[in-house]
Each structure stands twice: as C-alpha cells, then as structure tokens.
Structure 1
Amino acid sequence: MPLYRDDAIVLRTHKLGEADRIVTLLTRHHGKVRAVAKGVRRTTSRIGSRMEPFMLVDVQLYEGRNLDIVSQVETREPYARRIAVDYALYTAATAMVETADKLVDHEKEPAHQQYRLLHGALGALSRREHDPGMLLDSFLLRSLAIAGYAPSFDECASCGRPGPHRAFAIAEGGAACEECRPSGSAAPAEETMRLLASLLEGDWAVADASDGRHRREAAGLTAAYSQFHLERRIRSLPLVDRSEPQVG
C-alpha cells in the first residue's frame, strides 16, 4: 500500500467497532481524507488525544481501497486543547469544521485555500484574537468566497451598480439596488453592511470596533447566506454562543 504524509486538521470522528475511529481530515496537499485510526479509543492509545476535532497534526497514512489507515501522528498545534475549555470558542470551531467538511465535497482533491483558511481561523480562535462569533462569520464568508459564492456588500450583485445599497438579497448574491431589489429582501443597517464587508476582507480594525446589535444582524445574514448557498443546514450554527465579545 502506498504511504504518504501530510499536515491535517481533524474535522470529525466517529466510532468504528470497539476500539477504532474513522477520522475525517482536511489536509494541506491531499484535500479531504477519511481514514481509520486503529485502537485510538483504548486508554493506552498514544495517539487518541491527537485524533480529536480541531487538532492540527502531522499524519502518516497508508492508502487503502476505501479508507486510508493512520500509521503515525504527531501534534503540530494543539488547537483542540485550547478551544475545548471555552464554550464560545468550541461552538464557533465546531461550526467552522462542519462548514469546511461540507464545502470540500470530493475526497483527495486539493483544497489548499480552504485548508489555509481553516488553519488560520482555528489558530485565531485558540489565541482569542477576536470575538469568536465574528471569527466564525469571517470564516463563513471567506470560505464561501473561495468556493465561488462571494457575496457583494457594496455593488449591486445583479447589475453591478455602485453602492452603498440598503437591500441585501441572499439568493441574488448580496447587495441589491432599488431597481434589482426582489421582494422580501433584508434591509440591514449601513453599519451592518460595513461590518460584513470588513469580515469578508479581514479588516479587523473595523470589525472589532463594531456595535453588538450590528454584529447580531451580521451573524443572522451570514448564517442565512451560508446555508442558502451550501444548499444544506449547518447544524452547529444554532449552538454558537454569541453572548458577549471575548477579545484577548
């Protein structure tokens, strides 16, 4: 069996038999990989704690017919240990890895940009660099942009007319001018649209200075936009704790 090695982020795991787990990994060079980690549920396992969601690992795998087999694991960054102790961080990270798992549909097809984005987002969460909810919203918007669903927050998404515009049409791809605005469009505050644009662009000076009510409105629009264009529900989103900013 061919042997290969790669950096990987653990997206999810589920039990297999009495002692094994199937792990889903997002790797730097091989895209999404599903593999069997043998014996990791035994208390004597030396790699069990490394095969948990959010962990960044250096993993060696044997290529199998249906599932690969984990043969060696070394910790690169213990994101899980830092994130799991805080509910707000944990719920934001859970929504991130679930989204990445859904966006990278095909196994073993390169997904370099999604890998780098998730790596950066989990690192920022673990270091408490910004509010967890805003880090999540930034990740959602930027991961969708990588996948080809970049929202527009200034120009009209339908005709390209320069903004700012007051309407936001999820199905049309973002901001909508008065002529293109479909019925039922949202009408967010101007500050909310500015915040959404800053989250997409990674302009944290603007995002960190935003008001709580605009963050909440931006979070609702981001969740709706993400799930519409993913064409599936992100089950962990309703659990995300947005009670108060936590900036470290």
Structure 2
Amino acid sequence: MSRSGFASKSYHTRGLVLRTHKLGEADRIITLLTPNGIVRAVAKGVRRTSSRMGATLEPFMEVNALLVMGRNLDIVSQAQLRNPYGQLLVMDYPSYTVANAMSEIAERLLETDSDSTLQQYQLFHGAIALLSKQRVDSGAVLDSYILRALSVAGWAPSFTNCVRCGKPGPHQALHVQLGGVVCPECRPSGSLSPHPITIEYLQALLEGDWSTVAQAGPRARKQAADIVANYLQWHLERAVNSLRLVERN
C-alpha cells in the first residue's frame, strides 16, 4: 500500500484481516487487505486476555482501523469491528479453508497487480461475505472468486467465444494456457474436452450466476475445479499451497 497520500503519521482505513502471525509474547503481525492494497502492521498486546482488539483482529474480520506509520511495519492503534465474517467462517471447516485459499490468492495477485487494488478488495469482500452466509457451495464460491480475480488482474478467460479467432461458441475444446475455449480450426494439441455442461458451469461461475451454479452436478464441479486450479497456477507460475486443504463436496 502506498503511503504517499497520507499527510500525517496516522491514517484510517477499512480492511479485511487476511492472516495473523505471533510476535513476541503478546503481539501479532496483522496482514490487512484494504481498498488501497495490503498493509502489514503490529497489533500490540492483542494476545493478552485483557485486550479489547484481540477478538476484532482475527482472520476474515472486517474492521475500521486507525494505524500509525512505522519504519518497517505500521502499528494498529485502534480497530473497530464492521462485520464478524471470521466468527461465522470458523464454525464451518470447508468454508474456513476456502477463505484461507482466497486470502493467499489475493496476496499473490496484489504482489504483481497494483492497478486494481480497489476492485480486488471489493471482489474479495463480496466473496467472503457470501461464503460466510453458507448459502452457496464453498467450492463454487472459491472457483468463482478465482476466475473473477484473474479477470480483474487482466487474465479474463473466455468460455463462449474462441480465444484465438473470436468465433462464437459453443465450443467443445478448452485450452488452459490460452485462456478458454477454442474452435475446431484453432484447437491446438493438449486441449481438453470437458463436458459441455462443465463449460456452461464455468461461464456461470465467471458471471456469478448462482442459480445456474446450483444446478451443476458433481462431475461438472470436479472438472471445473481442476480447470480453474490449473488456470490459476499457469498465471501465478506457482502453486497455491492452501488449495490442497480445500474440501470439495
């Protein structure tokens, strides 16, 4: 996060706690996703039972924070709870593991994409809020988030028109490295042949069409999850470790 816009040594921001690390005997380092990017700050004394901020600065809580600029890390001076998403997610293990995977992905994307921080924040916030309601399959929320986050970062896939020539679909082949479906004339070697319903499901995930997503069967969900994971790894150029812990229905 750029600090050049702050005239004083302290500043207010809203944000979502991505993760925390212990520091010393009573402190924590808080990684916060804000509308202006990633902030890492020290929350002093929050591991003491008497701390008022301890429960507020837990993973996936949305907060209003007052931070003081530091030489290496900022310092959390105050934190007020906006939405207790973390309290809801911690009660459902599949949802909690998905939230952790999304956090890792958000950090990775913002390491290389500083031009769309507000959009990435809004997208992550919406996905966490939806996940906490537990009305949509957690795996579907994850896959939708990945596709949309990659789109915001400039890697939008196409599941309707051929990614090479633009010919309208539907098309039966898909090439992960090219970023979507390909027509018979453009189909390169190594292309996949997913079930047509899987391709429709991928498009529904990309659009956030939850009524269509809810109708998909286990085969389409499994095929789509593998395609999405491969597409993510292709662009990040490394695996997302927390994806291995995600439980799929």
Paired with 2:86 and 2:184, the residues of 1 have a C-alpha distance of 46
Give deviations 1:23-74, integer Å, cap 9, x for gaps: 111112x211111111112222211121121111111101122211100001
CA distance in 2, matches of 1:187, 1:204: 24
Query: Cα RMSD over matched residues?
Result: 1.6
Task: Specify which structure has the bigger relative contact order, considering alpha-carbon pairs within 8 angstroms and separated by 6 or more residues.
Answer: 1
Aligned to 1:5: 12
Instruction: Show CA shifts across 1:169-192 (max 9, x none).
Output: 111111112222221221111000
Range with bigger deviation, 134-143 or 37-46: 37-46
Structure 1: which 5+ runs fail to align? Answer: 244-248
Matched, 1:19 2:22: no
Per-residue CA distance 1:110-133 (angstroms, 9 max, x = gap): 611111111111111111121111
Q: Which residue of 1 aligns with 2:43?
A: 37
1:109 Cα offset (Å)? 6.9
Give aligned-pair identity as a percent.
Answer: 52
Inter-CA distance 107–138: structure 2 relative to 1 (3 Å threshold): closer
SS in 2 for 1:213: helix
Distance 1:107 1:195, change over 3 A: closer
In the alignment, which residue of structure 2 is the partner of 1:71?
Answer: 77
Q: Which stretches of structure 1, 4 residues or more, deviate above 3 A after TM superposition?
A: 106-110
Bigger CA drift: 105-114 or 144-153?
Answer: 105-114
Question: Which residue matches 1:91?
Answer: 97
Contact 1:32-1:107 within 8 A present in 2 as well:
no
Q: How many residues align?
A: 242
Contact 2:116 2:153 in 1 (8 A): no
- Tell whether the 8 Å contact from 1:121 to 1:135 is kept in structure 2 after alignment: yes
- CA displacement, residues 199-225 of structure 1 (integer Å, 9 cap, x when unaligned): 101111111111121111111111111
Aligned pair partner of 2:121 in 99, 115, 119? 115
User: For the residues of structure 1 that align with 2:113 and 2:55, how far apart are their CA atoms?
Assistant: 24
Q: Which structure 2 residue ranges, 5 or more long, are not aligned?
A: 1-7
Q: How far does residue 106 in structure 1 lie from its aligned partner after superposition?
A: 6.4
| Cα drift, residue 91 of structure 1 | 1.0
**1:55 matched residue in structure 2:** 61
Verify: 1:215 aligned to 2:221, yes or no.
yes
With normalisation by structure 1, the TM-score equals 0.93
